[in-house]
Amino acid sequence: MLFDDPVLASRFLTLMTLTFHIIYATIGVGVPLFIMIAHWIGIRKNDEHYIIMARRWSRGYLVTVAVGVVTGTIIGLQLSLLWPNFMELAGQIIALPLFMETFAFFFEAIFLGIYAYTWDRFDDQRKHFLLLIPVAIGGGMSAFFITIVNSFMNSPTGFEMVDGALVHANPIAAMFNPAMPTKVSHVVVTAYMTAAFLLASIAAFKLVKGSKHVYYKKALYLTMKIGLIFSIATAIIGDFSGKYLAEYQPEKLAAAEWHFETEGGAPLVMYGFLDENQEVHYAIKLPYLLSILAHSNPTAEVIGLNEFKPEETPPLVVHYFFDLMVTIGVFLLVLSLIYWIGIKRHWVFVKSTLFRWLIVCSGPLAFLAMEFGWWLAEVGRQPWILRGIMTVDQAATTSDYVDVMIILFGLLYIILGVGTVVVLRRIFKNNPIEAELKGTDSP
C-alpha cells in the first residue's frame, strides 16, 4: 500500500487533516470580527450596505463553520486514534486547554446558531448585534486554547519526567509555556489578517468582473484597511517569534534559515538550494538580518544546525516554508499599504483592474502563507511530537489500516472542499447584492 510504516502513515493523515481543517478554522476565528465590524458600522452610520454586508458574510460564514465543526471533530478524535501514546502522556498535563477549547467552541456555536436564525426577530438591530460578541470571543478563545496545546508541544513545561512517568504536574504552568505568547498571538492575528484578505479578494473579484456597485467598494476599503493593521501586527509578532525560537528552539530557527555554523553577524538566507556538501547556492543573503531577528543585535551569535545531533534536527525543506510565508506576508503588507495610501491620496492606479487583480490574489495567497506557517511549525518540530520528550515514532499508533483511513479521509476532504465551493457559489449567485438591496435603497 501507500505506507508500510504506521508512523509515516499517521503523520501523513494528520498533515492532511490539519492542512484541510486549518482553512476552515482560520475563517472560523477571523471572519466574525469582520461581521461584527460591518454590523456595527451599519448601525452607527445607519448605512444599509454594511448591515447587508454583515448578513451576507454571516451566510457564507455559517457554511464554513459547519464544515469546520466536522473537520475539528475529526482532528480532535484523530489525535487519540493516531497518536495514542502521545495523548496518554499529554492528556495528563495539557488536557486542560483542550477541555477549555471545547467550552469556548460550544459558546461560539450556541450564539452563532442564535445570530443566524434570528435576523428578523429583533426590532432593535443593536440587540441582534450583541449576539455577535460571544461569537467573536468564542472563536478567538478557541484559537487561543488550541494554540496553547500546540505551543506546549514545542516547549513542554510544568512537569517532570521520572522513569518514564510524568510527575509534579502543574497544568497552569504547562499552559503558560515559553512558546505560548508568540505562538498564540501569531495564530490569532494572522487569522484576522487572512480573513481580511479573503473578504477583500471577494470584493475585488466582483469589481474586476464589472460590478460598479458602491457596496463592493465599501467592502474592499474596509477589509483592506483592517488587513493592513493586522499585517503590521503580524510582522511585529513574527519578529518576536524569531526571538523565541532563537532562545528555546534554536534548531528550528537554524533549519528554517539553513544556518549551519554558529556565528555572529549572521545573514538571513532566502531561497537558494543546497548541494550534497550542505553548501547554499543562488540564495539571497540579507546581511546581519538573522542576528537581528534572533537577538535584536546585528553582531549577535546565532546557534547553527551543526551543534545538534543529526537525528534531532528537522528536515531542511522547512527553509522554503519559512521563506514563502515571509515573502507572502511582506507582499500583503505592501499591497494593503499602497492601497490605503492610494485611496487617501486619490491615486488612480489602485482602482485599476491590474491592481484589483493583485487584491484578488491576496486571499488565496494569505491562505497559502498560513499553510506554509503551519507546515513550518509542525515539520520544523520533527522528530519530536513533544520536543525533547517524545518522538513521533514513539507516539504513533501500532494499529493497522492507517493507510486505508488515508484514502477514506482523503476522499472525504475532497468532497467537503468541492461541496463548500459549490454551495457558497450557489448561495451568492442566486441572491446577488443588487437583488438584496432592491427596496432598501438605490445603488
Partner 1 sequence: MSLEILGITVLWAFLFGYVIIGSIDYGAGFFNAYSIITGKQHILSRIIQQYLSPVWEITNVFFVFFFVGIVGFFPQTAYYIGTIFLVPGSIGLILLAIRGSYYAFETYSSKGHKGYAFMYGLTGLLIPASLSTVLAISEGGFVYLDGGGNPVLDYTALFTSPLSWSIVVLSIVAVLYISAVFLTWYANQTGDVAATNLMRKYALIWALPLIITAGGIVYELSFHNPSHYERIMNFWWMFGVSFVLWALTVWLIWKRKNYGTAVWLLIGQFLFAFYAYGISHYPYILYPILTIHEGFTNRAMAISLVIVFILGLALLIPSLYLVFKLFLFNKEYVQGKYKK
Which position among 177, 190, 291, 420 is part of the footprint of partner 1 (CB under 8 A)? 420
Q: Which of 45, 103, 264, 414 binds partner 1 (CB under 8 A)?
A: 103
And the C-alpha cell for 159?
512537569
SS3 384: strand
Rg from Cα positions in the chain: 23
Q: Does 330 bind partner 1 (CB under 8 A)?
A: no
**Residue 117 binds partner 1 (CB under 8 A):** yes
Nearer to partner 1, 76 or 265 (CB): 76
Binder among 51, 53, 100, 324 for partner 1 (CB under 8 A): 100
351 SS3 class: helix
Contact status: 102 vs partner 1 (CB under 8 A)? yes
- Taking CB under 8 A as the binding criterion, the range among 231-239, 307-315, 351-359, 422-430 that sits at the site for partner 1 is 422-430
Residues in region 339-398 near partner 1 by CB under 8 A? 397-398
Distances from the Cα of 296 to the Cα of 132, 253, 255, 288, angstroms: 40, 15, 19, 10
Q: Which of residues 416, 432, 436, 437 is near partner 1 by CB under 8 A?
A: 416
Task: Compute the least distance from the CB of residue 246 to partner 1, in Å.
Answer: 32
Backbone φ, ψ for residue 389 (5° rounding): -120, -45
Asked whether position 80 contacts partner 1 by CB under 8 A, the answer is yes
- Grid cell, residue 245, equals 525560537
116 binds partner 1 (CB under 8 A): yes
Closest approach of partner 1 to the CB of residue 414, in Å: 12
SS (H, E, C) 248-309: HCHHHHHHHHCCCCCEECCCEEECCEECCCCCEECCEEECCHHHHHHHCCCCCEECCHHHCC
Q: Which of 8, 66, 283, 289 binds partner 1 (CB under 8 A)?
A: 66
From the list 2, 5, 106, 279, which residue makes contact with partner 1 (rule: CB under 8 A)? 106
Q: Report the nearest approach of partner 1 to the CB of residue 102 (Å).
A: 5
Residue 352: CB partners within 8 Å, gap ≥ 6? Answer: none
Residue 113 binding partner 1, by CB under 8 A? yes
* Nearest residue (CB) to partner 1, 362 versus 420: 420
Using rule CB under 8 A, residue 157 touches partner 1? no
Give the whole-angstrom CA distance, residue 393 versus residue 398.
Answer: 10
Position among 120, 163, 275, 311 found at the interface with partner 1 (CB under 8 A): 120
Task: Pick from 16, 19, 55, 171 the residue near partner 1 by CB under 8 A.
Answer: 171
Query: 315: cis peptide before it, omega within 30°?
Result: no
Nearer to partner 1, 111 or 320 (CB): 111
What phi and psi, each to the nearest 5 degrees, are found at residue 107?
Answer: -60, -45
Q: Which of 2, 70, 214, 341 binds partner 1 (CB under 8 A)?
A: 70
Nearer Cβ to partner 1 (66/233):
66
Say whether residue 122 binds partner 1 (CB under 8 A): no
Q: How many residues does the chain have?
A: 443
If one asks whether residue 89 binds partner 1 (CB under 8 A), the answer comes out as yes
Neighbours of 437 (CB within 10 A): 16
Measured distance CA(259)–CA(264) in Å, rounded:
11
CB 433, min distance to partner 1, A: 17
Closest distance to partner 1 from the beta carbon of 139 (Å): 13
Nearer to partner 1, 430 or 442 (CB): 430
Decide if residue 52 touches partner 1 (CB under 8 A).
no
Q: Does 273 participate in binding partner 1 (rule CB under 8 A)?
A: no
Q: What Cα–Cα distance (Å) separates residue 195 from each residue in 17, 157, 270, 415?
A: 20, 32, 27, 23
127 binds partner 1 (CB under 8 A): no
The grid cell for 52 is: 447587508
Bridge-based pairing of strands 160-162 and 165-167 is antiparallel
Which residues lie below 8 Å from residue 248, measured CB to CB, with a gap of 6+? 154, 155, 178, 179
